[in-house]
Chain A
């Protein structure tokens, strides 16, 4: 399909791991990105991964990339209430990006 796809909602308990999944469209995308949007704010770049990597770790964040299936995931270890936000997956597209619709992560105490 033409769209970057993500599930719209995810709910976890504080301290658990969160996994947000994304399917992208263009196998030639050089970079793939995860953005975080807190309520009432703009999108903040969380991390990106170069397409020749299959994993990138940054503190509590782990990005996994499966190029064959065009599948990207973001794992947040030890999820905290401050991680509650909308998470957007994005792929490079010409000089722009294609964004998913965003996954709203709710962290319950």
Chain B
């Protein structure tokens, strides 16, 4: 089974703090993603990566950056957290080599509260 692991399930951070959300996948997937999920807005793509050291902006990249130094690990960084970044963050991975096309597999989510 594909496993996508997010290191923190629940975080509370102060406004202005730097926040790191870590994600690891164990299936050698090329593609990794960060989404945020807010009530009534569904999933919105923040950043994605097709390969090591490669990143592409998604729909809402402002206020975020990412790092992919190793194939299995994709980090989301909030340089200076703000209250409007309180949300659930979902990491995901996929491979075009798998069954079902580019099926995306999700982690359990990280609930971030910025106070």
Contact = CB atoms under 8 A, between A and B. Distances in A.
Interface of A: 8, 30-31, 33, 35, 40-45, 48, 88, 90, 92, 95-97, 99-102
Interface in B88-113: 90, 92, 94, 96, 100-109, 111
Nearest to B107: A42
Given A31-B103, A43-B90, A44-B106, A95 B96 contact: yes
Given A41-B108, A45-B103, A45-B105, A95 B50 contact: yes
A101 B107 contact: no
A48 B106 contact: no
Given A30-B101, A31-B100, A45-B105, 4 more contacts: A35-B106, A40-B111, A43-B92, A101-B42
A42 B100 contact: no
Interface residues of B, number: 26
19 contacts: A8-B40, A31-B101, A31-B102, A31-B103, A33-B100, A40-B109, A43-B43, A43-B92, A43-B106, A48-B100, A92-B101, A95-B31, A95-B48, A95-B50, A95-B96, A97-B102, A99-B43, A101-B40, A101-B42
Contacts, number: 59
B90 A42 contact: yes
Interface of B: 4, 31, 33, 40-43, 45, 48, 50, 58, 90, 92, 94, 96, 100-109, 111
Contacts of A95: 31, 48, 50, 94, 96, 102
Contacts of B48: 95-96
A96 to B, nearest CB: 6
B104 A97 contact: yes
Contacts of A44: 106
Contacts of A92: 101-102
A77 B45 CA distance: 32
Given A88-B42, A99-B42, A101-B42, A48 B103 contact: yes
